[in-house]
Amino acid sequence: MANLKEVRERIRSVQNTQQITKAMKMVSAAKLRRAQDAILQMRPYADRLNKMLRNILSNLEGDAQTAFGEVREVQNACIVVVTSNRGLCGAFNSNVCKAAMATLEEKYAGLYASGNLTLMFIGKKGYDFFRKRYPKAVLNREFVDLFNDLSFDNVSTAAKRLLTAFETGEFDAIEVAYGKFKNAATQFTITEQFLPVAKIEKEAGDKLVADYIFEPGKEKLLDYLVPTILQTQFQKFLLDTHASEHGARMTAMDKATENADDLLRELRISYNKARQEAITKEILEIVGGAAALENG
């Protein structure tokens, strides 16, 4: 059994760690509220815009076209991996990376082998995860620090870069792996196709008609409307991940604090046992010394 000094030092160390986990939980809870409000207000708007965009692109006629709905043979692809910049949020970052890995290995294994797959990272943890595991992929960390400012103007710089790359043919497909926020205890990690825009599937014999009135002309409006909707959709990916990160960190720190309580309970029991053992040993030595004096 460990001596009293060692047990006391371990108790002190666990208590200090527990103070840190409690503080981190409180900070994450405060940040989570703001991040949760942002994504919950943004999501219905972004989802409705995305549905409208898919409907429009599914029913465009020959007089107006946009490159962002064009499906072509995939010779070059890009996977955008959206993770956090910091750790201590449980398995959140590794789950996002695993979702990106699954897409890479199941959908783009051939492109990776030929060196035609690009991995773009938003968040440092994703870059750290992939840079050693996939040396043949083109690693782009141009926007790794984007989480420092999640305003539309700042996020749109990365979205515009992707839109331009798709429009010019640099990429034929773009996927985004991110964390989708549900609540503080639940986050889903998924990979979603960003470009080309997925069209609405038509049922047999069904004819979808986008009942929209375009003013001014359809082509002129689409040139502005489609990129703006896609930039909004991209911002939603980041806001979802941001809220998921803080939810995962708050849950992880809460669990760490509970585990520290359990460990402290066990250490205090060990400390009391060691203390009782030391006291018993001293009593036995005193009794033994007294008996020796009497016999002497």
Single-letter residue type at 169? G
Dist. CA 84–CA 32, nearest whole Å: 14
CA–CA dist 116, 100 (Å, integer): 16
- Contact 93/84 with Cβ under 8 angstroms? yes
> Is the distance from CB of 270 to CB of 11 less than 8 angstroms?
no
Within 10 angstroms of residue 161's Cβ, the number of other Cβ atoms is: 15
Q: Cis peptide before 216, with omega less than 30 degrees from 0?
A: yes
130 by Cβ neighbours in 10 Å (0-12 / 13-18 / 19+) ranks as buried
Selecting among 7, 14, 89, 120, the annotated active-site residue is 89
Cα 235 to Cα 241: distance, rounded to the nearest angstrom: 10
Say whether 89 is catalytic: yes
Tell which residue, 143, 153, 159, 155, has the closest CA to residue 195: 159
Q: Do residues 60 and 66 make contact, with C-beta atoms less than 8 angstroms apart?
A: yes
Element (H, E) at 192: strand 186-195
- 86 by DSSP, 3-state: which? coil
Catalytic residues: 89
